[in-house]
Amino acid sequence: MTWRLLSALFYLVAVGVCAWPAHAQPTQTLPISVQDALKMARLPPEALSVVVLPVHADTARLTYQAGEARNPASLMKLVTTAAALDLLGPTFTWRTPVFLEGQQRDGVWHGNVYLKGSGDPRLGVEQLWLLMRRVQALGIRQIQGDIVLDRSVFSIPAQDPGGFDGEPFRPYNAAPDALLINFKTVRLQFVPDPDHQVARVHMEPPLAEVKWPTTVPLSTAECSDYRAGLKADFQQPLAISFAGSYPLSCGEKIWQVAYIDPAQFASRAVLGMWLQLGGQLSGTVRDGAIPSAAKTVLSHESPTLAEVVRDINKYSNNVMADQVFLTLGAQKSGIGSSATAAESVYAWWRERLPAAEPPLLDKGSGLSREARISAQSLAALLHWSWAQGFMPELVASLPINGLDGTLKRSKSTAMAHLKTGSLRDVMGIAGYVDAANGQRFVLVAIVNHANANQARPVMDALIDWTAGKNDR
């Protein structure tokens, strides 16, 4: 049975089950301020689902088309992160161990060095540098053999980086990996040097055999769309080039670009870092399994899950959410795949929220056209989560309205911690709102419509109404 069929089965058997007790208020009329915002955005009311529910009560203050299954976009990250915090615990960490097989003589390791990926979502440039330095601290500077990468804990089919939306160089489209290094993303830093009329170009991580220009000409253009002005070509795996110029007025800028050949990113990054640190390698960097005779010599430990969840929800990091999702599958079944991860989440949902309609999910990130959840079910999850021990970590991970993360530009002045979700034809918010009277509410709002990108004022109106700042 495929994971899509399995997830659809779990979804269908629960259709019609209420997400909270039957005495909850029936569908209500939307507040006038929300109706006005919908008209201004040219959105029909039927495009919107809403739930407003006190955290310490079972009776909803407002429900509107709450049972409609909708595409939640990144709101699905709330399901992934709540499940992970509950199943794994906020202090859970990922370990990336180094194994050795062979023997050392005079600073030369005769044999192979192995790195085993565990799905660490935060294995960046700095962590890779430290890992390589720690290997060298063992007295190993030259390897007469191979560096072998074991990525077997995740089972992921090959993916087209541009398959979702035709944007293969966007970091949000990076696919998960058991040995995910720097999100499979190149960090290009542009530093103007007016004296020489160039901008210096720095690239991280160093990718073995990949060439790039160390300078680009400066221009007097305005810093409006410097990326277009650079006329970058990222199509060649072994060469990054720029046919344009960089505006002096931009100052220093950083451009994150997904590498065109993601399957080779880890091996190029590991070899590039090893060579940059002065290491030597007679063989290659390749994928493979760790033999039973190999011994663990050191291990890198990731930040805690609580810290990872904060990055996921504050900044809506897709690949990190998918890493956590696959980790749930790996912890339950030994191998992290879409099927095992979905099975783990559904089993958890049935145990924790038996009265709520489960989501239809294929990824942990919500970067999907197939994912579905109702506002009612998402509200039930948030309502239940408020009473759990991991609640402080979950709430702290959510963007603060008008202050940080993906809610920094919100026009609402209410105090709220809310996850945002947006795709083409989708916009939503979900989380907790503090009312002026001291009450706290769960708020979930999802719009599915061709004009969904115009729905921000609708969301702001709902936040303000929930907080009691607008009674209309």
Nearest residue to 457 via CA among 431, 427, 432 = 427
Residue that finishes a domain, picked among 302, 335, 367: 302
Specify whether 281 is located in the same domain as 374.
Answer: no
Note whether 19 and 376 are within 8 A (CB).
yes
Specify whether 122 is located in the same domain as 216.
Answer: yes
Amino acid letter for position 176: P
24 has a pLDDT exceeding 50: no
Q: How many CB atoms lie within 10 A of CB 255?
A: 15
If one counts the domains in the chain, the total is 2
For the chain, first and last CA: distance in Å? Answer: 50
Check which CATH number belongs to the domain holding 147 and give it. 3.50.80.20
Please give the structure tokens belonging to residue 212. Answer: 């790039």
Specify whether 67 is located in the same domain as 138.
Answer: no
What is the residue-wise DSSP string for 225-275?
-HHHHHTEEEEETTEEEESS-EEGGG-SEEEEEE-S-GGGHHHHHHHHHHH
Domain membership of residue 87 (yes or no) is yes
User: Cα-Cα-Cα-Cα dihedral of 362, 368, 374, 375, to 10°?
Assistant: 130
Check which CATH number belongs to the domain holding 353 and give it. 3.40.710.10
13 has a pLDDT exceeding 50: no
> Which pLDDT tens digit goes with each residue over 168-212?
889 988 999 999 999 999 999 999 999 999 999 999 999 999 999
Specify whether 132 is located in the same domain as 82.
Answer: no
Domain membership of residue 471 (yes or no) is no
Specify whether 77 is located in the same domain as 205.
Answer: no
Domain membership of residue 403 (yes or no) is yes
Number of residues that make up the chain = 472
Specify whether 16 is located in the same domain as 27.
Answer: yes
Q: What is the pLDDT of residue 106?
A: 85
Q: Specify the pTM.
A: 0.92
Note whether 374 and 69 are within 8 A (CB).
yes
Residue that finishes a domain, picked among 302, 337, 360: 302
The residue-averaged pLDDT of 267-290 equals 98
The residue-averaged pLDDT of 226-232 equals 96
Please give the structure tokens belonging to residue 300. Answer: 């890198």
7 has a pLDDT exceeding 60: no
Give the separation between CA 93 and CA 381, rounded to whole angstroms. 24
What is the residue-wise DSSP string for 293-327?
T-EEEEEEEPPPHHHHHHHHHHHT-HHHHHHHHHH
SS3 352: helix
SS3 344: helix
Residue that finishes a domain, picked among 254, 272, 302: 302
Specify whether 220 is located in the same domain as 369.
Answer: no
Note whether 100 and 109 are within 8 A (CB).
yes
Specify whether 360 is located in the same domain as 453.
Answer: yes
12 has a pLDDT exceeding 80: no
Q: What is the pLDDT of residue 68?
A: 97
> Which of the two residues, 105 and 10, has the higher pLDDT score?
105
The residue-averaged pLDDT of 321-330 equals 98
Q: What is the pLDDT of residue 392?
A: 98
The residue-averaged pLDDT of 451-465 equals 97
Note whether 397 and 308 are within 8 A (CB).
no
Please give the structure tokens belonging to residue 395. Answer: 């709430």
Amino acid letter for position 263: A
The residue-averaged pLDDT of 61-70 equals 97
Q: Give the structural domain span for 153.
A: 94-302
Specify whether 288 is located in the same domain as 314.
Answer: no
Min mean pLDDT across 14-28, 93-107, 404-418, 450-464 is at 14-28
Helix axes 32-40, 456-466, angle to 10 degrees: 170
Phi, psi of 282 (to 5 degrees): -80, -30
pLDDT class of 459 with cuts at 50, 70, 90 = very high
Specify whether 255 is located in the same domain as 312.
Answer: no
Phi, psi of 34 (to 5 degrees): -75, -40
Q: What is the pLDDT of residue 85?
A: 98
Note whether 422 and 73 are within 8 A (CB).
yes
Q: What is the pLDDT of residue 172?
A: 87
pLDDT class of 14 with cuts at 50, 70, 90 = very low
Please give the structure tokens belonging to residue 134. Answer: 């720690």
Give the separation between CA 51 and CA 363, rounded to whole angstroms. 24
How are beta strands 108-116 and 142-144 bridged, if at all? parallel
> Which pLDDT tens digit goes with each residue over 110-163?
999 999 999 999 999 999 999 999 999 999 999 999 999 999 999 998 888 888
Specify whether 139 is located in the same domain as 53.
Answer: no
The residue-averaged pLDDT of 319-323 equals 98
Specify whether 342 is located in the same domain as 427.
Answer: yes
Arithmetic mean of pLDDT over the chain: 93
17 has a pLDDT exceeding 50: no
Buried-exposed string 409-429: b where 16+ CB fall within 10 A, e elsewhere: ebebebbbbbbbbbbebbbbb
Domain membership of residue 472 (yes or no) is no
6 has a pLDDT exceeding 90: no
Note whether 50 and 70 are within 8 A (CB).
no
Please give the structure tokens belonging to residue 117. Answer: 């990926």
Q: Tell me how far CA of residue 352 lies from CA of 217, 261, 322, 347, 367, in angstroms.
A: 59, 41, 22, 9, 25
